[in-house]
């Protein structure tokens, strides 16, 4: 893996933009190194097309940030950070398919299936999912094997029926239902969106040797930023533009999907997102000055425009 850049978290002025840019560059280099082009070329080209398409890299950055917060070596968390982005990319490839959300654009360019076909896109997503677990198992040098095993188990749960896949299937089943409850909507997004963000935060903590109490505090933080992230996505689907978002907008309305604005309205949705961010930041009260990156990432989530 690529060596970590240096960054002084004890500096008087913490600059989130610099912090995110440095770590994004580190993650990009590690992803490029982790997934090289090989035979069969079409499969690996499709995997790299989506994996290296840019994006916020929020999940790997959260993993690295929590590891660092608890005094862990960022290098031991990099394999897991890369795996998280591979799984997130898989979810985007599959989510864009005609059988799911049927999107033509992602991050400002054609979606995977529009370039490579539905068959290759499905297989590219499958390959990214399986490879993610291999990367953790093979490349977490220096990490306690028991901690690595826990991360693999936690990530498997976050992706499967108790996490992302479970949320997605309830989401699909709820399309066109005008009576979707807030409880059902929360279930969808606590699983479909928040579960992977949650394990991104807790995995870094586990690898750093966090106590159970620290992990639970970080879990509370992650669950709240995860739900806030989705509320903001729902707001942007109404208020933003395709050019700004880099993907189609208004799809939720066209598909008659329940969203937070459809239940609460825009203003109350903003209020609820900000409340969740406040609660997330409060969950970090016992972590000291080192929590600054996580605090500012929480604010970034609710303030973002794309």
Domains assigned to the chain: 16-303 (1.10.600.10)
Q: Are 113 and 121 contacting, i.e. CB atoms less than 8 angstroms apart?
A: yes
- pLDDT computed for residue 10 by the predictor: 46
Rounded to an integer, what distance in angstroms lies between the CA atom of residue 130 and that of residue 83?
10
Q: How many CB atoms lie within 10 A of CB 79?
A: 26
- pLDDT computed for residue 8 by the predictor: 44
- Predicted TM-score of the model (pTM): 0.92
Q: How many CB atoms lie within 10 A of CB 78?
A: 28
Mapping DSSP onto H, E and C, the string for the chain reads: CCCCCCCCCCCCCCCHHHHHHHHHHHHHHHHHHHCCCCCCHHHHHHHHHHHCCCCCCHHHHHHHHHHHHCCCCHHHHHHHHHHHHHHHHHHHHHHCCCCCCCCCEECCEECHHHHHCHHHHHHHHHHHHHHHHHHHHHHCCCCCHHHHHHHHHHHHHHHCCCCHHHHHHHHHHHCCCCCCCHHHHHHHHHHHCHHHHHHHHHHHHHHCCCCHHHHHHHHHHHHHHHHHHHHHHHHHHHHCCHHHHCCCCCHHHHCCCCCHHHHHCHHHHHHHHHHHHHHHHHCCHHHHHHHHHHHHHHHHHHHCCC
Rounded to an integer, what distance in angstroms lies between the CA atom of residue 80 and that of residue 244?
30
pLDDT in tens, the chain (306 residues): 444 433 444 445 899 999 999 999 999 999 999 999 999 999 999 999 999 999 999 999 999 999 999 999 999 999 999 999 999 999 999 999 999 999 999 999 999 999 999 999 999 999 999 999 999 999 998 999 999 999 999 999 999 999 999 999 999 999 888 899 999 999 999 999 999 999 999 999 999 999 999 999 999 999 999 999 999 999 999 987 666 656 566 666 666 788 999 999 999 999 999 999 999 999 999 998 999 999 999 999 999 877
Direct distance between the N- and C-terminal alpha carbons of the chain, in angstroms, rounded to an integer:
30
- pLDDT computed for residue 178 by the predictor: 83
């Amino acid at each position: 893996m690529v060596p970590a850049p240096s960054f002084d978290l004890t500096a008087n002025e913490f600059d989130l933009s610099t912090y995110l840019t440095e770590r994004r560059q580190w993650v990009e280099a590690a992803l490029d190194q982790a997934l090289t082009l090989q035979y069969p070329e079409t499969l690996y080209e499709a995997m790299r097309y989506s994996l290296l398409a840019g994006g916020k890299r929020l999940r790997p950055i959260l993993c690295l940030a929590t590891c660092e917060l608890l005094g862990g070596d960022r290098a031991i968390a990099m394999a897991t950070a890369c795996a998280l982005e591979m799984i997130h990319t898989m979810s985007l490839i599959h989510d864009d398919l005609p059988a799911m959300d049927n999107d033509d654009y992602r991050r400002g360019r054609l979606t995977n299936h529009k370039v490579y076909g539905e068959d290759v896109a499905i297989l590219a997503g499958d390959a990214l999912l399986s490879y993610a677990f291999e990367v953790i198992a093979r490349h977490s040098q220096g990490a306690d094997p028991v901690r690595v095993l826990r991360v693999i188990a936690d990530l498997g749960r976050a992706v499967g029926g108790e996490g992302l896949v479970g949320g997605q299937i309830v989401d699909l089943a709820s399309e066109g239902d005008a009576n979707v409850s807030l409880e059902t909507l929360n279930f969808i997004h606590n699983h479909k969106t928040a579960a992977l963000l949650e394990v991104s935060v807790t995995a870094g903590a586990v690898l750093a040797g966090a106590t159970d109490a620290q992990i639970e505090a970080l879990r509370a933080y992650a669950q709240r930023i995860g739900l806030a992230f989705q509320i903001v996505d729902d707001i942007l689907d109404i208020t933003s533009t395709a050019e700004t978002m880099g993907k189609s907008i208004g799809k939720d309305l066209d598909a008659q999907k329940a969203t937070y604005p459809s239940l609460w309205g825009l203003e109350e949705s903003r209020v609820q997102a900000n409340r969740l961010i406040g609660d997330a930041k409060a969950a970090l009260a016992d972590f000291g000055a080192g929590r600054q990156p996580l605090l500012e990432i929480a604010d970034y989530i609710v303030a973002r425009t794309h």
